[in-house]
């Protein structure tokens, strides 16, 4: 056993030392924190912003608005060309665009989306344009609502109400899901999912899938109830710059149920595979 001379506290009077909780920063209502005196009345008697007395209230109000805008309330605008491509199948050559963009802040935005396709040398088959209000409900998900207008060369144009969810799912899958209610009472839905698998810093392989559903038969649009169609593809793109990336790929599509019957009744094929060449860009 160590002798008293070896004890570093030997001879020290520790009877006056407090054995209570240490004086460390804790919550204000924590009983272990020493009591604090109330603020003097003069501390709250001045203006809400002391700088107003030096630089003027008008100038400082403008400066505070700039501070808020530059630290979380920034307004941005973007245009994303997700797919601008040509497709080559066994019987026809087609073109397609899938473009969207937004304007607004981190929480509230105006979104617009446009898709369309047709045959080279022929008429535009169909096109759609969406105008949406988008609100961020979590850091990775936006709820969107608005209108969709369809344009058809061989049919009646249709207007839809839109309610959707767009964001980033686990494992970095980008999801765009929406339900559409037309002015004729037809209820349909569409889910799109894509994922960027980086092979190198510039070479990216993107699996993509699109699934469509309908609550009832819509004969004039050749859509049957239930699962109506599925598209699945792989696109390999090369980013010359982040904003400019051409790609090549292959896409398979298949119609199901009554949708397939409608297509085959007019002499079409319910299943198709085609080579695609296109461009992905944004600014």
Q: CB neighbours of 276 closer than 8 A, spacing ≥ 6?
A: 85, 86, 87, 88, 233, 235, 247, 248, 249, 250, 251
To the nearest whole number, what is the mean pLDDT of the chain?
89
For 19, 26, 37, the CA distances from 30, given in Å and listed in that order, are 17, 6, 15
Q: Render pLDDT for 2-23 as a digit per residue (tens, 0 to 9).
A: 454 555 556 655 555 555 555 5
Q: Render pLDDT for 116-152 as a digit per residue (tens, 0 to 9).
A: 999 998 888 899 999 999 999 999 999 999 999 999 8
pTM here is 0.76
Q: How many residues does the chain have?
A: 283
Q: Among 134, 127, 178, which residue's Cα sits nearest to residue 151?
A: 127
Higher-confidence position of 163 and 153: 163
The percent of residues in the chain predicted with pLDDT above 70, rounded, is: 88
φ/ψ of residue 168, rounded to 5: -115, 115
What was the pLDDT predicted at 42?
77
Distance CA 176, CA 84 (A): 18
Average pLDDT score over residue span 76-94: 92
What was the pLDDT predicted at 101?
97
DSSP single-letter state for residue 241 = B
φ/ψ of residue 133, rounded to 5: -95, 130
Distance CA 127, CA 134 (A): 22
Distance CA 252, CA 229 (A): 11
CB atoms within 10 A of CB 93: 13
Q: Is the dihedral of CA 6, 8, 10, 11 positive or negative?
A: positive
Distance CA 220, CA 184 (A): 12
Q: Render pLDDT for 50-68 as a digit per residue (tens, 0 to 9).
A: 888 889 889 999 999 888 8
Q: Among 96, 220, 113, 219, which residue's Cα sits nearest to residue 156?
A: 220
Average pLDDT score over residue span 242-257: 96
**235 has pLDDT over 50:** yes
DSSP single-letter state for residue 32 = T
Least-confidence region, from 169-183, 191-205, 258-272: 258-272
Average pLDDT score over residue span 58-85: 89
Structure tokens of 183? 């002015």
**1 has pLDDT over 50:** no
Distance CA 261, CA 273 (A): 18
What was the pLDDT predicted at 22?
55
Higher-confidence position of 234 and 106: 234
For 104, 116, 209, the CA distances from 214, given in Å and listed in that order, are 32, 19, 17
Q: CB neighbours of 12 closer than 8 A, spacing ≥ 6?
A: none
Our measurement of the distance from residue 144's CA atom to the centroid of its chain's CA atoms, rounded to an integer in Å, reads: 10
For 56, 95, 199, 218, the CA distances from 228, given in Å and listed in that order, are 65, 22, 34, 11
**207 has pLDDT over 50:** yes
Average pLDDT score over residue span 190-204: 97
For 58, 205, 211, 253, 278, the CA distances from 250, given in Å and listed in that order, are 60, 12, 17, 10, 11
């Amino acid at each position: 056993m160590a002798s008293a001379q070896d004890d570093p506290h030997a001879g020290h009077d520790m009877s006056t030392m407090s054995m209570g909780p240490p004086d460390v920063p804790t919550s204000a209502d924590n009983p272990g924190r020493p009591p604090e005196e109330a603020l003097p009345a003069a501390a709250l008697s001045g203006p809400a912003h002391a700088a107003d007395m030096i630089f003027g209230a008008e100038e400082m109000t403008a400066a505070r608005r700039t501070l808020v805008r530059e630290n979380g309330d920034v307004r941005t605008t973007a245009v994303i060309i997700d797919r601008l491509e040509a497709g080559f199948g066994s019987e026809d050559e087609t073109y397609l665009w899938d473009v969207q963009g937004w304007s607004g802040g981190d929480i509230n935005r105006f979104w617009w989306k446009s898709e369309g396709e047709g045959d080279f040398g022929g008429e535009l088959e169909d096109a759609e344009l969406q105008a949406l209000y988008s609100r961020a409900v979590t850091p990775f998900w936006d709820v969107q609502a608005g209108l969709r207008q369809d344009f058809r060369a061989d049919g009646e144009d249709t207007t839809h109400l839109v309610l959707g969810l767009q964001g980033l799912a686990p494992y970095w899958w980008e999801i765009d899901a929406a339900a559409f209610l037309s002015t004729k009472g037809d209820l349909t839905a569409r889910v799109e999912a894509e994922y960027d698998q980086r092979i190198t810093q510039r070479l990216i392989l993107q699996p993509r899938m699109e699934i469509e559903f309908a609550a009832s038969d819509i004969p004039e649009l050749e859509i049957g109830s239930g699962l109506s169609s599925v598209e699945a593809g792989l696109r390999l793109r090369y980013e010359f710059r982040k904003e400019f990336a051409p790609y090549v790929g292959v896409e398979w599509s298949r119609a199901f149920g009554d949708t397939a019957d409608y297509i085959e009744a007019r002499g079409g094929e319910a299943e198709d595979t085609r080579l695609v060449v296109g461009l992905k860009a944004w600014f």
